[in-house]
Amino acid sequence: MKKTIKRIAIFGIVAILIFLAICSILIGLTYIFSEKVDFDINKIKYTSSIIEMYDKNNCPIKDASIGSNFVKFNTLNKYTVDAFISIEDKEFYNHKGLNYKRMISAMIKNITSFKIKEGASTITQQLIKNTHLTNEKTFSRKINEIVLAKECEKKLTKDEIMEYYLNIIYFGDNCYGIENASMHYFSKHAKDLNLQESATLAGMIKSPNTYSPIKNVDKTVQRRNIVLQEMFNDKKIDFNTFNNAKLSKLQTQVSSINNNELNSYSMACLEEASRILNMPIKQIAIGEYKIYTYFDKNKQNELSNSLSYFSNGDDCAGISINSNGEIEAYFGKSKIKLLTAKRQPGSALKPILVYGPALNENIVSPLTQINDEKIDINGYSPSNINNKYYGYISVRDSVAKSLNVPAVKVLSYVGTKKAKNYASKCGIQFDNNDENLSLALGGMTYGTTLKELAGAYTIFPSGKYTEPKFINYITDKNGKIIYRNKTSKVNVLREDAAYLMTDMLKTCAKTGTGRKLGNLPFDVATKTGTVGQTFNTDAWNISFTTQDIVGVWIGNVDNKKISTVGGGAPTDIVKLYFERIYSTNKPAKFKIPTSVYTEKIDSLSLNEEHVVYKANNFIPEKYIVDELFSKFNPPKEKSNKFISCKPPTLRGKIENNKAVLQFEAQDYLIYELYKIEDGEDELLSVTANSKGLCTQTFDIDKKTKYYIITKIKNYADNTEIVSDKSNIIELMPLNNSIILKDFSKTSKIKVRLFA
């Protein structure tokens, strides 16, 4: 038994040694054949926080600052440094750049999974990664990181490495370095941080967005307490200190310093550049890269001025994208970063998720009638604003009034899976739980960003989506172009479906929730959105012309009540912005594609039967409405209204020796009333444009017969259709005649009816 155990142990050790040998060979080969990066101490000591940027005309714009304020190591409290060491690198002062035990454990997991899942990075390695390397997770990058970390340890002392590390790491919200983070989140210098605040910042760097003390307080406290626990385990603090700090309430005091920069166009460009180059923003500054943008100074000024004009203390943001998907202006006002803030889009999502797909699938046309009524679909019972319902209403009017019930019904016709597929092609991101019909009203798990939502509207009116970008191209410090934006368009909607949606959104701007834009002297399409139950938390307006898409959001990231709706301040801001940027050059009209045409529709059938029929040649003009249709989804049947003009039933009686005649009239027919007296037919009256019970009275002195002939005009060739005679009635005056109250009952008056 002992021999068996001994053999197994020996076999295990040999297997591990063979495995490690293979790993070493693989690592060596990777290093030999990978691109090597040289250690440059100047990159670590580089303290500049300025990055050169240029506008759409390649003219210099205000350089972007990444907000780095250098703080000396010896000014920091000991527990501030200890917090980072306990959570990030317990053996920092003992190793020479690498923690081999952690590396071997991570290496085994990474190689067996054939991907980099765990890094086991020391603080020295993190410093190297943030100053010398990209963010890509590859073996070659990891090997370069290891080699450079060893070199770094030879050139710098431990305290110097810690000092540069604390001044380079990212804490979210445009905060690079502990001094800047301390000022932003706690309005104090880093040297004045207390234990709880130090532990909070140390815990953040794993995921600044997830553990933001502004956005996610509960998660931040949990992470802070983990740091405190590690400090206690490492005997950096005693139990009472640990316990008191753990039970303390997280108290932030967000500073307004740097907030303008936080939600600026330049900061948005830096974040896009970081994703493009796959490197930290700090490294972009260190590498002296130059960023060439689509920035339009005039539009930027007008957008920020328009937002500021209507500002009332709520958070707000605006974005302006041209028809090529180039972001020319962006501005936000908040204590936290708004560019990536996800909010519920409300009804502003309907054209992208509901009506656009329904048009493209030939499920509806702008004139399709939807019954706006209180409904319950498997327990889901959406309601309109103020619980007001309109009965049968067209899709066009449903969009303009931003009605909820019709939107939910149309989404049920399309299907959530298919609708989400359309919206996803437009850049809208959904959670796996976003499956129910509340999506029609913008009810998403996490919501969407202003950039995503406004960008989705680039599909109108061409039908093609273009992902919005801030950056045109990037060069290195020697002027070599290392990135250029290659605009690609994704087909989402047919051109006809996209135009019909655009035209309905023009109606929204003329008479609907965005009607404040109705008097602008050029074509504009718009959609508003308001989010809230007991009170409003978000208000949107997304509008576009043939040249620009502009999106405005007003709300509060902490979900406080706002005092506006989508058709209020956001629409006012859009209007002011459009008035200013188009003050001299108005945009062209939306161009109707050849696949869209105008059809004449029978409005009587529409109102009475709620069915869309093409008008026939006999329908009077007042009963004809013109509507746009796709050639792929035209109305197929022609109305049978007015084709025949069957006369009504004529009824008569004698009152006060006068003939009283009655019939039910339709206002689209002409009625000629005749009498037959002594064998001669004589026209008594012509009735037109009357609807309902028509009563006419005539003198009578002898037995007289009466009938009606009905006529209808053929508006195609100006001819008339004439009906047969109606029923013929005969009346005779009598002395002391009896008044007949009910024409259907037999009276003492002689009345004879003829077929």
pLDDT by residue (tens digit) across 75-118? 999 999 999 999 999 989 998 878 777 767 666 665 555 555 44
Instruction: Note whether 419 and 541 are same-domain residues.
Output: yes
- Mean pLDDT within 490-500: 97
**Structural domain of residue 541, as residue ranges?**
319-581
Q: Does residue 33 register a pLDDT over 50?
A: no
Banded pLDDT at 70 (limits 50, 70, 90): confident
Banded pLDDT at 2 (limits 50, 70, 90): low
Distant-in-sequence contacts of 649-652, Cβ < 8 A, 24+ apart: 649/726, 649/727, 650/706, 650/707, 650/708, 650/726, 650/727, 650/728, 650/729, 651/729, 651/743, 652/706, 652/729, 652/731, 652/743, 652/751
Asked whether residue 641 is domain-assigned, the answer is no
How far apart, in whole angstroms, are the C-alpha atoms of residue 62 and residue 265? 10
Q: Based on the structure, what is the number of domains in the chain?
A: 5
How far apart, in whole angstroms, are the C-alpha atoms of residue 140 and residue 593? 53
681-732 pLDDT, tens digit per residue, is 999 999 988 889 999 999 988 889 999 999 887 766 677 888 889 999 999 8
Q: What CATH number does the domain containing 575 carry? A: 3.40.710.10
List, as one string, the DSSP characters of 79-130. HHHHHHHHHH-TTTTTSSS--HHHHHHHHHHHHHHTS-------HHHHHHHH
> pLDDT: is 137 or 493 the higher one?
493
Strand ranges inside 506-595, DSSP E: 525-532, 536-544, 548-555
Are 256 and 268 in contact by the 8 Å Cβ rule? The answer is no
Asked whether residue 51 is domain-assigned, the answer is no
Instruction: Note whether 545 and 680 are same-domain residues.
Output: no
Asked whether residue 504 is domain-assigned, the answer is yes
Instruction: Note whether 101 and 224 are same-domain residues.
Output: yes
Asked whether residue 741 is domain-assigned, the answer is yes
Asked whether residue 366 is domain-assigned, the answer is yes
**Look-up of token digits 């696949």:** 595
> DSSP 3-state assignment of 704?
strand
598-615 pLDDT, tens digit per residue, is 999 999 999 989 999 999
Q: Are strands 525-532 and 471-475 parallel, antiparallel or unpaired?
A: unpaired
**Size of the chain, expressed as the number of residues it contains:** 755
What pLDDT is attached to residue 410? 97
Are 621 and 718 in contact by the 8 Å Cβ rule? The answer is no
Q: What CATH number does the domain containing 84 carry? A: 1.10.3810.10
How far apart, in whole angstroms, are the C-alpha atoms of residue 617 and residue 715? 6
pTM of this structure: 0.77
Instruction: Note whether 22 and 80 are same-domain residues.
Output: no
Instruction: Note whether 144 and 240 are same-domain residues.
Output: yes
Instruction: Note whether 1 and 72 are same-domain residues.
Output: no
Among 257, 276, 296, where does a domain finish? 257
Asked whether residue 62 is domain-assigned, the answer is no
Instruction: Note whether 506 and 390 are same-domain residues.
Output: yes
Instruction: Note whether 236 and 367 are same-domain residues.
Output: no
Contacts of 367 (CB under 8 A, 6+ apart): 394, 395, 396, 601, 606, 612, 625, 627, 629
How far apart, in whole angstroms, are the C-alpha atoms of residue 743 and residue 755? 17
Contacts of 267 (CB under 8 A, 6+ apart): 64, 174, 261, 337, 339
> DSSP 3-state assignment of 314?
coil
Instruction: Note whether 338 and 464 are same-domain residues.
Output: yes
What pLDDT is attached to residue 753? 33
Instruction: Note whether 607 and 504 are same-domain residues.
Output: no
